[in-house]
Amino acid sequence: MVAATERGSISIRKVSRVFQNNEGADLTALSGVNLKIKAGEFVTLIGPSGCGKSTLLRLIAGLDQPTSGTVSLDGEVINGTHYSRGLVFQDPTLFPWKNVWDNVASGLDARGILKQQKHEVDAYIDLVGLKGFENVYPHMLSGGMAQRAALARALVNHPKVLLLDEPLGALDAFTRMNLQDEILRIWRERGTTMVLVTHDIDEAIYLSDRVIVMTPRPAEIKEIVNIHLLKPRIRNSKQFFQYRLEILEILQLVPEKI
């Protein structure tokens, strides 16, 4: 049995992932990545488009396997998908023929435990602020509401780790900020380890304990920025701006002075 203090800890050791392009040539997405994520930590991966952030998330999810190296959860090597690792994509990917309640319940149903855990479906719909929308179908939901449903669907399985692949990227600024606060609230209440992929530096600073800055492909970890700010964070504080400038400089996005 895994101790509570170790629940949800991730170890990434010397991980590389090599694909082949249409001509059969090797294309290296990740090269020798080493990273440890503590149980209950909120970590964000940030870097240039196509650098391998989502590839690393897929390896943690078990949707793909490393070419070399290992990815482990609580000391066990990850081989394939498992409900202990929830994944939320940029597109909510809800089943269009199912209402909110049935979408949230789908994972429990697939595991054959819906009858015993039926009460939890309502609890998690309430947790993400969708109480009253149980019978609504995806095409009737706003983008933000659909993502709330996707979050509930992942969380109802009590994952040790919640993986977030740019889940707020398609939302308007106001909805995005509101959902950032919702994700933080859920993180505080449940203590779930969270790993986020985003291109939004402010989002990374606002949510994360650590920001993992990655190099262009083949991706390596360029630098790790520890965010020493109390949550919830003040987006226009001097310290917040300092972290933004630090990450911009690491990404070489600050223009040189003439």
Q: What is the mean pLDDT of each run of 10 residues along the chain (258 residues)?
A: 60 95 87 96 94 94 96 95 92 94 95 92 93 96 94 93 92 91 91 95 97 93 96 94 96 71
Q: Would you state the pLDDT for residue 257? A: 55
- Separation of alpha carbons 210 and 59, rounded Å: 20
51 found inside a domain = yes
Domain with 214 in it: what CATH number? Answer: 3.40.50.300
258 found inside a domain = no
Q: Would you state the pLDDT for residue 256? A: 60
Q: Would you state the pLDDT for residue 200? A: 94
Q: Which domain holds residue 125?
A: 95-157
Residues 16 and 47 in one domain: yes
Residues 127 and 187 in one domain: no
Residues 143 and 244 in one domain: no
Q: Would you state the pLDDT for residue 8? A: 93
Residues 151 and 164 in one domain: no
- Separation of alpha carbons 215 and 220, rounded Å: 5
- Separation of alpha carbons 146 and 143, rounded Å: 5
Q: Would you state the pLDDT for residue 23? A: 82
